[in-house]
Amino acid sequence: MIIPANATDNRRLAQARLPRMMFDYLDGGAFAEQTLRENTADFQHIHFRQRVMRDVSSTSAATRILGRDVSLPLVLAPVGLAGMLARRGEVQAAKAAQQSNVPFCLSTVSVCSLEEVAQATGPANWFQLYVLKDRSYSEALLDRAHKAGYSTLVFTVDLPKLGLRYRDVRNGMNGGLSPWGKLQKLSDLLSHPFWLWDVAIKGKPLTFGNLSDAVPSGRSPEDFKAWVDQQFDPSVTWADLEWVRKHWPGKLVIKGIMDPDDARSAVDVGADGIVVSNHGGRQLDGAPSTISALPAIVEAVSGKTEILFDGGVHSGQDIVRALCLGANGCLVGRAWAYALAAGGEAAVSKMLENFRNEVELTLALLGKNSVKQLCPDDLL
């Protein structure tokens, strides 16, 4: 058993502890997973400008994101089905985020409901919403989030249709397994007795907590997933953001921006922030990595809205690279999900501590005292 030092170690532990279907759902991307790989690999082509003989006796990763003081420029991104990775997983992750003073964003398709997470952690969480065909249900979700004290809505705009994820097809996430495939799935579940006991049995109910009213007959995640897959609305345009603004009184962040023109459109509709994101490589395979798309978007809208970034962030050094290129903060998804599966709340807290230490160490080696001092000149 290894003592996890980084996201790669947590990924290895998660792979050992999770049934294959759940690990592949978390770990995989769309089509041939080219964009998924490049999200991570392209960070390695960005080199730091090391500076010496500066007074770096005091360094700080603290900053502000959307008006909130945070311990480091990081948000725990929305991860669907996180409650299938550890018992009541979203609650555990939200507690870790609260203790570390960083925002936690709850997914529409979370196992734990808006109210359950809010009750466990208090107000000021973020909530992510997909564009659903059923506008009345979307309105009800927004009302629930506001009443539960959620401060920020992250509106995901890059799912007019669900990306094709070959790993999920092979594992039967959408059904259609042969009798032999079902037998293999059962064998895989039985070979992970700790997960079966701790999550599948003690972690019930394993349904989408935010959608229980929409699918009252649903008894399994597959039932809810079928409803959600039919709810993605390919007719949505920028004009629909007026509807969101009408029904959401808090801050609004648009997630899924990969083009400078789309970034400008988000500013035009009054977004408080955007997330430069290709959905973790889970939608349009062959799209560029987010880190390669970031500079042009920064040039287009810097100073007009807050620019957040996600995709391939697996360390504090990745955060520093993104901030040097103009991001105000980063969202992290898989990294915290790996940690959650590897060791629950304690592992997520340790991951956040590691990220903060990595940011501050990198600042010192760049000759900087604060993340607010970072700029493109800190890169070669």
Who's near 335: CB < 8 A, 6+ residues apart?
A: 7, 10, 313, 314, 351
In Å, how far are 49, 50, 107, 217, 359 from 365, measured between CA atoms?
A: 9, 6, 36, 57, 10
Q: Where are the domains of the chain?
A: 7-166+228-378
Of 78 and 214, the structure prediction assigns the larger pLDDT to 78
240 pLDDT higher than 90 = no
Largest CA distance in the chain: 67
Tens of pLDDT, residue by residue over 195-221, are 999 999 999 988 889 988 877 665 666
- The pLDDT of residue 221: 62
Q: What is the pLDDT of residue 234?
A: 86
For 105-114, 159-168, 309-318, which range has the lowest pLDDT when averaged over its residues? 159-168
Q: At 133, is the pLDDT very low, low, confident or very high (cuts 50, 70, 90)?
A: confident
In whole angstroms, what is the distance from residue 213 CA to residue 363 CA?
48
The pLDDT value recorded for residue 184 is 86
Whether residue 37 has pLDDT greater than 90 = yes
282 — pLDDT class (breaks 50, 70, 90) = very high
Count CB neighbours of 254 within 10 A. Answer: 29
Q: Give 230's pLDDT tier (boundaries 50, 70, 90).
A: confident
What is the tens place of the pLDDT at every residue in 3-24? 999 999 999 999 999 999 999 9
Residues recognised as catalytic: 279
pLDDT confidence band for 182 (50 / 70 / 90): confident
Q: Is the separation of the CB atoms in 257 and 266 below 8 Å?
A: yes
Range 227-242 average pLDDT: 84
Instruction: Report percent pLDDT > 70 for the chain.
Output: 97
The rounded distance, in Å, linking the Cα atoms of 274 and 255 is: 6
| Reported CATH class of domain 7-166+228-378 | alpha beta
**CA angle, corner 316, sides to 372 and 288, nearest 5?**
95
Residue 146 has what pLDDT?
Answer: 96
Q: What is the mean pLDDT of residues 233-256?
A: 92
Which string of b and e fits 140-166 if b means at least 16 CB within 10 Å? ebbebbbebbbbbbbbbbbbeebbebe
What is the pLDDT, as a whole number, of residue 215? 72
Q: Report pTM.
A: 0.96
Q: Report percent pLDDT > 90 for the chain.
A: 79
| pLDDT of 236 above 80 | yes
CA distance 255 to 239: 16
Rounded to the nearest 5 percent, the helix, strand and coil shares of the chain are: 50, 15, 40
Phi, psi (5° rounding) for residue 128? -100, 135
Average pLDDT over residues 85-98: 98
Helices then strands, each counted (H, E), the chain: 15, 10
Mean pLDDT, rounded, for 36-42: 98
3-class state of residue 312 by DSSP: coil
Q: What is the mean pLDDT of the chain?
A: 94
Beta strands in the chain (DSSP E): 63-65, 68-70, 74-76, 105-106, 126-129, 152-156, 251-257, 273-276, 306-309, 329-332
pLDDT value, residue 206:
87
Q: What pLDDT digit, counting tens, does each position of 356-373 carry? A: 999 999 999 999 999 999
- Report the pLDDT averaged over residues 238-267: 95
3-state SS class at 379: strand
Amino acid letter for position 267: V
> What's the confidence (pLDDT) of residue 113?
96
